Amino acid sequence: MARHASGKNNYALSGGVIAALVVAVLLFGVAIAFVSTRGDGDTEASGQAPACVAGDLALPVAATDQAVASSLIDAYSNVNPVVRDFCVKPTLVESIADAAVYIAPNTPVAHQELAAQNRTASTSEPSPVYAEKVGLAGAQAPASAAEVELGAVAFPVNDEPSASALVAATLAPNDQDAVNALTNQRVATLDDAQENAQYIATAESSVPDGLNFSPLDAAIVYTAIPLNQGDNVTEEQSRAGQDFVRVAAENFTEQPAEQPTISDIVWAAATPSGGEEITRNTETGATIADGGPTNTLFVLDTSEAMAPYLDAAAQGIAAAAESVAGAGHQVALWNYSSPLTPGVTQGYRRNVTFTPNAGEVVQSANRFMTGGQPQTREAVTAAVRETAETGLPSRVVVVTTGTADGGDDEAFAQAVTDAAGAGVTVSVVHVGEGQQDQALRRASTSAADAPSQGQVADAVKAASGIAP
């Protein structure tokens, strides 16, 4: 008997089979999506704590401002972060040595503090994550914060180091006055500040109860710097730190705030240690250079920052020059700052070429005035190169307040070392409490720190191989 056509495809699947396949495909897709989202950085937006196969992972975060760090830590915790199957638990720590993330304004001082703790950033471009207005707090708000006298302000450097730096830099006529204010008018906390001055330097969110806030036309911009693993930080914590930075940067949706340019010496003076951590590897006071007296070129910083120490530096150079020449060697003198004469581009000046007559150096050293910024690297590179060209064993003694012409640290240190060769040594005397140039320190054979006027002359003599 012949078959009759039913109108249906004999190879068609039944409705039940099709439904089963659809469900299987959907379940497979969900599984793939779940697996693909559990990568290096995973967050739970539902607000429910996720199940973490690897358990909890502490994420240590250090910061220059604890209030800022606490705000960012709370925001990150609220997304229930998961990194590589770890539930990440961010916590605030005091030491950079223990941290996987460092929150601070992105300044050379911040990176010097990292270097002082042998820590390195895992990115060359830290992300901005927080910005806040700063200004003055007082019982009565001034008509204009910018018109307040610098001497009327207390700087709570433990609680508000960044705000202290910005306020001091804004109110002071120059960097040295800002550093002096941060040194002489510093207090530890906001509570201490209320007892010591008419006004307090502070961020807007930290104004003590009962005081009024008057903002400056600027803000502090904080960045989050993810750190590589170290002695106290595991690879997992370092990866979690990168996720913390990613989330914080994504949440920072404000327009870029205007942070004024602040010099390194002001940033350093506003730290709780007053720059101590940055300079901790340098000897304080008189450290006699190895080898005794030899032909010596004195290179003197005559920038504005040297003003309080210039007389003491000149006395030290004069005494050292007389001793070096008295031992049968030659002496020379350069000074440097940024160019102060229109059309001049070179920051250093050759005042006295090598001579056995110390009187020329003594006379010249006592004629200087100060001004401009310390273009230290340009002067040192040229001084070492020209001293090496004499072909005689020599020493270059650099008396400096810091460096304003920074750049590639490794390239600079290598250039100085290469120029010096075997015949020239470099001794550095860092004067005052500003930030030291660590690259210059590495290129030197001896270095001393003379933070006060009374230490400068002896430090210069010792750097010249002369016992004070």
Model pLDDT for residues 224-282, shown as the tens digit of each residue: 999 999 899 999 999 999 999 999 999 998 765 567 778 767 887 888 876 554 444 44
Tokens representing 307? Answer: 């003003």
Residue 42 is predicted with a pLDDT of: 56
| Residue 381 pLDDT > 60 | yes
Query: Chain-wide mean pLDDT for the chain?
Result: 84
Tokens representing 319? Answer: 């005494």
Tokens representing 139? Answer: 């019982």
Most confident of 217-221, 258-262, 333-337: 333-337
| Among 141, 431, 214, 465, CA closest to 321 | 465
| Residue 133 pLDDT > 50 | yes
- Residue ranges of domains in the chain, CATH in brackets: 295-464 (3.40.50.410)
Q: Specify the long-range contacts of residues 206-210, CB closer than 8 Å, at least 24 apart.
A: 206/67, 206/159, 206/160, 206/163, 207/137, 208/137, 210/139
| Residue 105 pLDDT > 90 | no
Question: What is the phi/psi pair of residue 84, to 5°?
Answer: 50, 50
pTM: 0.50
- The single-letter code of the amino acid at 251 is N
- Of 122-126, 198-202, 416-420, least confident by mean pLDDT is 122-126
Report d(CA 314, CA 304) in Å as an integer: 15
Residue linked to tokens 């720190």:
449
Report d(CA 179, CA 193) in Å as an integer: 18
CB of 417 within 8 A of CB of 443?
yes
Residue linked to tokens 């975060």:
61
- 327 strand-pairing partners: none
Angle at 52 between CA 51 and CA 53, to 5 degrees: 120
Most confident of 38-47, 185-194, 379-388: 379-388
* Average pLDDT, integer, range 42-55: 65
Report d(CA 280, CA 449) in Å as an integer: 9
